[in-house]
Amino acid sequence: MWKIDVLDIREEMKDTFQRLQLKKEKLQKGRPLPQMALNKIKESLSIEWTYNSNSIEGNTLSLRETQMVLQEGITIKGKSLREHFEVHNHNKAIEHLYAIVANSSKLKCADILILHGYVMRSIEDDFAGRLRYGAVRISGANFVPPAAHKVSKLIDELVDFVNQNPLKLNDIEMATVFHHKFVWIHPFFDGNGRTVRLAMNLFLMKKGYPPAIILKDDRKKYYDALNQANNGNYQKLMLLMSQALERSLNIYLSAMPDNTTDFDSIQNLVNEEKTPYGQEYISLLARRGKIDAYKEAGVWYTSEEAIHSYVNKRKRKR
């Protein structure tokens, strides 16, 4: 069904894929994590996930306001009722997602429809959990979604493609391709973005990964990457997914009792002369996924260990 060529990208991202696989294995071996730490991480990531996914779609509640709505039941003055519903709905969708992660190793159309139902509840009840039956156009996109009468079959084919994996894609490649193809099909009148980011993570979490959270700060990069994927180039989208996943993996691994990796901002590492490279070059390596790094509030973080690992790898290749 899908004509996809990721061989060149696979070679380019080989080190990144290996690093993420090793981190996932380390996390699985380290389970169960201390329950208190696990609860805190899950709670924090759920709030971040809700805030970032809603913000990408235009919700104006801040991270702190999102937290107050969820944890304190506060209504934020000057914010619309819809924006408050979007926060509560997304959080309920995450709760449902966690409940069904262990049910089956397969992705199911029914689960995706249920997630969309949560996302759109009390906002567009007539369309919540239902595939679109009319045409849609996406502002700023370089494609027109398929006709409505094709949507049901295309979604079924996409879910079958994910479960059967005829191209033998690894989990990160599959999550990326699924994410793009879902957006291209655009199966709902509204709520597609939030739903695909939930469904993609449902797939990843069934595979043993933590949720990958696309950050609001990467909104432009995210949409640009999706537009490139429409032209058959998955590299930027796959890199963005990998970076989001690595950030979450690092958060979980930091809670393990034997964790010894200390992350710091690239600027601090350079100022303290803990790296043989300058800030600009290390930032470039981080953006390209060449080193273990993640971005927080627009600032890149990495570790001495990650930089020296890259240095040693380069020496071995000479």
pLDDT digits (tens, 9 = 90+) for 263-286: 889 999 888 888 888 989 999 999
Identify the pLDDT of residue 318.
Answer: 63
Q: Token pair for residue 74?
A: 């506060």
Q: Nearest CA to 113 among 159, 70, 150, 148?
A: 159
Identify the pLDDT of residue 1.
Answer: 54
pLDDT per position as a tens digit, 226-256: 999 998 899 999 999 999 999 999 999 988 8
Q: H or E stretch including 118?
A: helix 109-120
Task: Please give the DSSP secondary-structure letter assigned to residue 306.
Answer: H
Residue 119 CA to residue 89 CA, distance in Å, equals: 5
Identify the pLDDT of residue 3.
Answer: 64
pLDDT of 6 above 80: no
Identify the pLDDT of residue 105.
Answer: 80
Higher pLDDT, 122 or 314: 122
Identify the pLDDT of residue 142.
Answer: 77
Would the pTM of this model clear 0.85, i.e. be above it?
A: yes
CA within 13 Å, CB half, 152: 6
CA within 13 Å, CB half, 302: 29
Would you name the residues annotated as active-site residues? 186
Placement of tokens 């997602």 in the chain = 97
